[in-house]
C-alpha cells in the first residue's frame, strides 16, 4: 500500500531560511526595510515611459486590454506633458521636451545672431513688435528663444499667435502648450496687465504668407491693434527685426484650391514643397539675425489715447519704419544668405 | 424676511442647495416649487406642486409666491444634459423661465438667482482665453440645449430691466463634476473609450460641487449682481483630464467628427448632439474676476480636484484614482 502524503513534498524553498539568530533577524529586517523603501519610491515616482513600453512589449497581445491600452496612452502622453498647465495653457514639461530641438535650430541650423537685447526691459510689461515671415511661424519661436537665452533676466516672452496657426489642428495645441496665446486684444491686454513680455506680429497673414519676390518689404501693420493695447496698458513698444527667416521656405506660388478646403489661408509651393514630400518641410539653413531697437515709451499719451485713430496710425507707422530701417541696415551689410 | 422659493429640486444643484437652505434657515423658511415633492428626509419643507410649462402657470405662480411671502427665488429647473425631446426642453427652460420671471416680478420678489452655464458663451475659435461676463454669447446655433438657456437668461434680464424692483443674479457655472453627479460629461467619462477631435486639446474648467454651492450661497447672501461666472481656480487641458482618468482616447479628424457625432446622436448611441464637438475643439474658459469682486467668492478647488472627486465616486475601488493613471 502506498501512502499518499497529505501535503505535497515541497522542494527546498528559495526563500530565505527561517532566521535563527539575532543577527539573522536583523539582516532580514534590513532587507524588508529596503524592500519597503523601494516600494514607497516606486509609488511616489510612477514608472516612466520606457518601463511602460517594455512592460507592454513583454506582455504582447496576451496582456492587451482596454486598461493596459489606456495606461500605455497615458504614459505616452505624460512622458512629454505635465499634469498642470498655466492659465493660458502653457505646459512647462512640453516646452522642456522640445527645447533641445529649438536650441539646435537656434545655434546650429540658423546660427542666430542677436543684437540690442539690452533694449528688452528686465521687468515689467513690454510689447515686442516683430516682422513676420517664413511661411511657418519659426520666427516667433526664435525671438522667444533669443530673449530667453540672451537676456540676463531670462524672460519668457509670450507670443501672440495668428488665428491661422492657433486654430489649425496639431499646431493649435502645440503652440498653446509651448506658451503662445491666440492673438486678440483681450489676451494681449491681460498678459501685459500681468506684467508679462508679449510678442506680436502686426503684419499677420500678409507677412508670413509673403511671396519670395516680396521678401523684406514689410506688409501693412494691420489696423494698429498692437498700438492700442500698448496705449491702454502703458507698456513700452520694443521694435524687433528678424532677418533670415524670409528665405527658409521661399514661396514661389500659392495653391489656394488645395488650401481653402483644408482650412489653410494659403497652401505654399516652394522649390522643395510639396515636390519632396515631408522632406520639403525642412526649413533651409539660412543665417539669421534678430535686432531689438530702443523701446518706445507710449505711457505718456495715457490709456484714452487708444481711441484716437490718428495717433494710433502715426505710432504704428513709426514702429513699422523703425523695423524696416533695421532690416534694410542688416540687408546692406549681409553678403550671403547662408553665412551672413 | 420672506421665504426662499426653490425650483428644480430634483436637479443636482437644486436638491443640494435646498438641503443647505433647510439646514441653515429651517424648513419653514423654504418653499419648493416643482412637479415632484422634495425628499421626505427634509420633512416639513413647504411644497407647491406646479408645472412651469403649463399655460397659465405664471398666474398660479403669482398667487403661490404671494401666499408664501416669497422674496427670493432660486431657479434651478434646467436640464444638465441635452435631451432628444428638444421641445420639452424649450418649454421648460425658455418658456418656464419666462413664466417664472413674470410671476416673480408681479409678486414683488426682490431677488431671483438663476442657474446658467458657461457653455452659453459657445466654444469658438475666436474666443479670447478668458471670457468675461460682458462678452456677447455666440453658441453653435444647432444646439437647442444651449439656445434655451440663453433665451432663459434673456427673459430674466429683460424683466429685471423692466421691473427694477426685482434684481437678478445669473450664475454661469463651469462644467460641474463631482460625486453624485450624473450628466452627459460624467457619462462620457464613465466609458472606457472616449472619442476626441484630432489635433485639438482645448483647456477645460471643471467645477467642484462644493464650490458651486458656496457660490450660490454667496449670491443669495449678496443680492442682485447680474451675470456672474462661477469657475474653478485653474484650467486643465482636455487630454490631460482624459489621460488622468485613464481613458483610451480615439482621435477623430474634425470634418468627420461632426458627421459621426450626428450619426451617433440620432442613432441613440451618442451622449450629445454634433454641436458639442465645438466644445472639444475650442476654448470656452470663463473669467472668475467678477465673482471675486462682486460676490467676494473664489473657488477653493482646482479643476483636477473636481475630476478626482468624480473619479473617486465613480471608481471607489481605486484608492487614489488620479495617481493610478501612472502607477
Q: What pLDDT digit, counting tens, does each position of A124-167 carry?
A: 999 999 999 888 889 999 999 999 999 999 999 999 998 878 88
Nearest to B234 among A69, A87, A187 (CB): A87
Q: Say which residue the cell 519661436 belongs to.
A: A141
CB B16 within 8 A of CB B83: no
A101 touches chain B (CB under 8 A): no
- CA B60 to the chain's CA centroid: 26
Q: CA–CA separation, B80 vs B74, rounded Å?
A: 16
Domains and CATH numbers, chain A: 46-79 (no CATH), 92-248+283-333 (3.40.1130.10)
CB contact under 8 A, B126 and A172: no
CB contact under 8 A, B325 and A91: no
Determine contact, residues B103/B58, Cβ cutoff 8 Å: yes
For residue B63, the distance in angstroms to the closest alpha carbon of chain A comes to 47
- Chain B residue numbers touching A43 (CB-CB < 8 A): 327
pLDDT, chain B, mean: 92
Residues of B in contact with A78 (CB under 8 A): 243, 325-326
**Given CB atoms, is A70 within the 8 Å cutoff of chain B?**
yes
Q: Out of B130, B197, B235, whose CB is closest to A190? A: B130
Whether residues A66 and B193 touch (CB distance < 8 A) is answered with: yes
Residues of chain B in contact with residue A73, where contact means CB-CB under 8 angstroms, are: 243, 248-249
Residue B38 near residue B11 (C-beta atoms within 8 A): no
- CB within 8 Å: B243 and A172: no
Lowest pLDDT segment from A77-91, A272-286, A292-306, B169-183: A272-286
What residues of A are in contact with residue B244 (Cβ under 8 Å)? 74, 83
> Which residue in B121, B123, B201, B231 has the most chain A C-beta atoms within 10 A of its own C-beta, making it the best mutation to test that interface?
B201
Of B130, B236, B325, the CB nearest to A74: B325
pTM: 0.86
Which tens digits make up the pLDDT trace of B25-53?
A: 999 999 999 998 888 778 788 999 999 99
Best B189, B191, B248, B257 residue to mutate vs chain A (most A CBs within 10 Å): B248
- Cα atoms in the Cβ-side hemisphere of radius 13 Å centred on A64: 4
Chain A residues in contact with B126 by the CB 8 A cut-off are 163, 184
Mean pLDDT of B190-212: 94
Q: d(Cα A200, Cα A230) in Å, to the nearest integer?
A: 11
For A23-33, the pLDDT digits (tens) are 888 888 999 99
Min Cα–Cα distance to chain A from B264, Å:
21
**ipTM here:** 0.86
- Cβ-based neighbour number of residue A28 at 10 Å: 13
Alpha-carbon gap, residue B170 to B52, rounded angstroms: 19
Beta bridge partners of B226: B169
pLDDT at B238 over 70: yes
Tell me the pLDDT band of B73, cut-offs 50, 70 and 90.
very high
Taking the CA of residue A89 and the nearest CA in chain B, the distance in Å comes to 7
* Cβ(A234)–Cβ(A306) below 8 Å: no
Q: Do B240 and A81 touch (CB under 8 A)?
A: yes
- Quote the CA–CA distance of B173 and B193 in Å, as a whole number: 27
Q: What local confidence, expressed as pLDDT, does residue A219 receive? A: 87
Q: Which residues of A touch B132 (CB under 8 A)?
A: 186
Q: Coil, strand, or helix at residue B207? A: strand
Kindly report which listed range (A15-19, B214-218, B228-232) carries the lowest average pLDDT score.
A15-19
Torsion of CA A277, A278, A280, A282, to 10 degrees: -170
CB contact under 8 A, B237 and A173: yes
Query: Looking at residue B130, what is its pLDDT?
Result: 96
Q: Which chain B residues have a beta carbon less than 8 Å from that of A166? A: 125
Question: For residue B36, is it left (φ>0), alpha (ψ between -120 and 50) or beta?
Answer: beta
Enumerate the residues of chain A whose CB falls inside 8 A of the CB of residue B236: 84-85
Cβ(B114)–Cβ(B75) below 8 Å? yes
A87/B248 CB distance under 8 A: no
Percent of chain B predicted with pLDDT > 70:
97
Question: Between A49 and B130, where is the model more confident?
Answer: B130
Q: Give the closest-approach CA distance of B125 to chain A in angstroms.
A: 6
- Quote the CA–CA distance of A33 and A315 in Å, as a whole number: 70
Q: Is residue A316 a contact partner of residue A202, using CB atoms and an 8 Å limit?
A: yes
CATH number of B3-179+207-232+285-300: 3.40.50.720
What residue in B sits closest to A186 (Cα-Cα)?
Answer: B128
Contacts of B247 in chain A (CB under 8 A): 70
Our CA-based measurement puts residue B119 at a distance from the nearest CA of chain A, in whole angstroms, of 18
Cα B116 to Cα B148: distance, rounded to the nearest angstrom: 11
pLDDT over threshold 50, residue B327: no
Handedness of CA A274, A279, A281, A282 (dihedral sign): negative
Within 10 angstroms of residue B300's Cβ, the number of other Cβ atoms is: 12
Task: Identify whether the C-beta of residue B194 lies closer than 8 Å to the C-beta of residue B242.
Answer: yes
- Looking at the predicted structure, is the pLDDT value of residue A16 above 90? no
DSSP A172-224: HHHHHHTT-EE--HHHHHHHHHTT-EEEE-TTTHHHHT--GGGTT-----TTS
Lowest mean pLDDT among A186-195, A224-233, A274-283, A295-304: A274-283
- Pairwise CB contact (< 8 Å): A187 & B128: yes
Nearest residue to A147 via CA among A107, A169, A119, A117: A117
The pLDDT value recorded for residue A163 is: 81
| pLDDT classification of B275: cutoffs 50, 70, 90 | very high
> How many CB pairs lie under 8 A apart between chains A and B?
98
Residue with cell 531560511: A17
Q: Look at strands A253-254 and B30-34 and give their pairing.
A: unpaired
User: Which pLDDT belongs to residue A130?
Assistant: 95
With beta carbons less than 8 A apart as the criterion, state whether A129 and A200 touch: yes
Q: In the prediction, which pLDDT does B148 show?
A: 96
pLDDT at B325: 43
Q: What angle do CA A16, A18, A24 make, to 5 degrees?
A: 80
* pLDDT at residue A214 is higher than 90: no
- Work out whether strand B175-176 and strand B70-75 pair parallel, antiparallel, or are unpaired: unpaired
Give me the pLDDT at residue A7, please: 56
Residues of B with CB under 8 A from a CB of A: 125-126, 128-130, 132, 192-193, 197-201, 203, 234-237, 239-240, 243-244, 246-249, 253-254, 282, 304, 323, 325-327
pLDDT digits (tens, 9 = 90+) for B115-160: 999 999 999 988 999 999 999 999 999 999 999 999 999 999 999 9
**What percentage of chain B reaches a pLDDT higher than 90?**
80
| Model pLDDT, residue A133 | 87
Helices (H) and strands (E) in chain A, counts: 12, 9
- Contact list in B for residue A85 (CB cut-off 8 A) is 203, 235-237, 240
Amino acid at each position: 500500500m502506498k501512502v499518499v502524503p497529505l501535503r505535497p513534498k515541497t522542494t527546498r524553498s528559495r526563500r530565505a531560511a527561517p532566521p535563527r539568530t539575532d543577527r539573522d533577524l536583523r539582516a532580514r529586517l534590513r532587507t524588508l526595510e529596503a524592500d519597503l523603501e523601494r516600494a514607497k519610491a516606486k509609488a511616489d515616482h510612477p514608472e516612466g515611459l520606457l518601463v511602460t513600453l517594455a512592460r507592454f512589449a513583454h506582455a504582447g497581445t496576451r496582456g492587451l486590454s482596454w486598461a493596459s491600452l489606456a495606461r500605455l496612452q497615458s504614459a505616452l502622453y505624460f512622458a512629454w506633458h505635465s499634469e498642470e498647465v498655466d492659465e493660458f495653457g502653457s505646459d512647462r514639461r512640453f516646452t522642456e521636451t522640445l527645447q533641445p530641438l529649438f536650441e539646435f535650430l537656434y545655434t546650429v541650423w540658423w546660427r542666430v545672431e542677436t543684437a540690442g537685447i539690452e533694449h528688452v526691459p528686465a521687468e515689467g510689461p513690454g510689447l515686442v513688435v516683430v516682422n513676420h515671415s517664413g511661411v511657418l511661424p519659426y520666427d516667433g519661436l526664435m525671438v522667444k528663444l533669443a530673449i530667453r537665452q540672451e537676456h540676463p533676466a531670462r524672460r519668457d516672452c509670450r507670443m501672440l499667435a495668428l488665428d491661422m496657426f492657433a486654430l489649425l489642428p496639431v499646431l493649435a495645441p502645440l503652440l498653446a502648450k509651448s506658451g503662445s496665446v491666440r492673438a486678440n486684444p483681450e489676451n494681449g491686454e491681460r498678459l501685459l496687465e500681468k506684467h508679462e513680455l508679449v510678442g506680436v506680429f502686426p503684419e499677420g497673414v500678409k507677412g508670413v504668407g509673403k511671396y519670395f519676390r516680396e521678401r523684406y518689404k514689410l506688409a501693412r501693420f494691420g489696423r494698429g491693434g498692437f498700438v492700442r493695447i500698448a496705449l491702454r496698458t502703458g507698456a513700452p513698444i520694443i521694435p524687433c527685426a528678424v532677418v533670415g527667416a524670409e528665405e527658409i521656405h521661399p514661396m514661389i506660388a500659392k495653391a489656394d484650391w488645395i488650401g481653402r478646403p483644408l482650412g489653410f489661408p494659403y497652401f505654399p509651393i516652394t522649390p522643395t514643397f510639396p515636390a519632396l514630400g515631408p522632406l520639403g518641410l525642412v526649413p533651409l539653413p539660412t543665417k539669421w539675425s534678430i535686432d531689438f531697437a530702443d523701446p518706445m515709451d507710449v505711457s505718456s499719451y495715457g490709456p484714452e489715447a487708444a481711441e484716437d485713430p490718428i495717433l494710433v496710425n502715426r505710432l504704428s507707422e513709426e514702429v513699422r519704419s523703425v523695423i524696416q530701417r533695421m532690416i534694410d541696415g542688416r540687408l546692406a551689410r549681409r553678403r550671403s544668405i547662408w553665412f551672413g | 424676511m420672506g421665504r426662499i422659493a426653490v425650483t428644480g429640486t430634483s436637479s443636482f444643484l437644486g436638491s443640494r442647495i435646498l438641503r443647505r437652505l433647510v439646514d441653515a434657515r429651517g424648513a419653514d423658511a423654504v418653499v419648493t416649487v416643482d412637479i415632484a415633492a422634495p425628499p421626505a428626509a427634509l420633512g416639513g419643507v413647504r411644497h407647491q406642486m406646479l408645472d412651469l410649462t403649463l399655460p397659465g402657470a405664471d398666474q398660479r405662480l403669482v398667487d403661490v409666491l404671494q401666499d408664501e411671502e416669497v422674496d427670493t427665488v432660486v431657479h434651478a429647473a434646467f436640464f444638465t444634459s441635452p435631451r432628444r425631446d428638444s421641445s420639452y426642453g424649450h418649454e421648460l427652460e425658455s418658456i418656464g423661465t419666462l413664466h417664472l420671471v413674470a410671476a416673480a416680478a408681479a409678486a414683488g420678489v426682490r431677488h431671483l438667482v438663476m442657474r446658467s452655464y458657461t457653455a452659453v458663451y459657445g466654444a469658438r475659435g475666436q474666443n479670447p482665453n478668458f471670457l468675461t461676463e460682458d462678452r456677447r454669447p455666440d453658441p453653435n446655433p444647432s444646439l437647442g440645449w444651449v439656445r434655451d438657456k440663453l433665451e432663459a437668461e434673456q427673459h430674466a434680464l429683460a424683466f429685471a430691466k423692466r421691473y427694477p424692483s426685482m434684481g437678478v443674479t445669473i450664475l454661469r457655472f463651469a462644467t460641474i463634476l463631482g460625486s453624485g453627479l450624473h450628466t452627459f460629461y460624467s457619462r462620457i467619462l464613465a466609458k472606457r473609450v472616449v472619442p476626441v477631435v484630432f489635433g485639438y486639446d482645448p483647456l477645460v474648467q471643471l467645477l467642484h460641487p462644493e464650490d458651486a454651492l458656496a457660490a450660490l450661497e454667496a449670491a443669495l447672501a449678496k443680492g442682485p449682481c447680474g451675470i456672474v461666472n462661477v469657475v474653478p481656480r485653474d484650467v486643465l487641458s482636455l487630454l490631460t483630464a482624459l489621460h488622468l482618468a485613464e481613458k483610451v482616447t480615439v482621435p477623430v479628424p474634425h470634418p468627420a467628427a461632426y458627421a459621426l457625432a450626428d450619426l451617433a446622436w440620432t442613432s441613440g448611441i451618442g451622449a450629445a448632439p454634433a454641436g458639442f464637438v465645438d466644445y472639444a475643439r475650442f476654448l470656452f474658459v470663463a473669467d472668475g474676476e467678477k465673482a471675486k469682486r462682486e460676490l467676494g467668492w473664489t473657488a477653493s478647488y482646482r479643476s483636477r480636484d473636481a475630476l478626482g472627486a468624480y473619479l473617486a465616486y465613480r471608481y471607489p475601488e481605486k484608492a487614489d484614482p488620479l495617481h493610478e493613471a501612472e502607477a
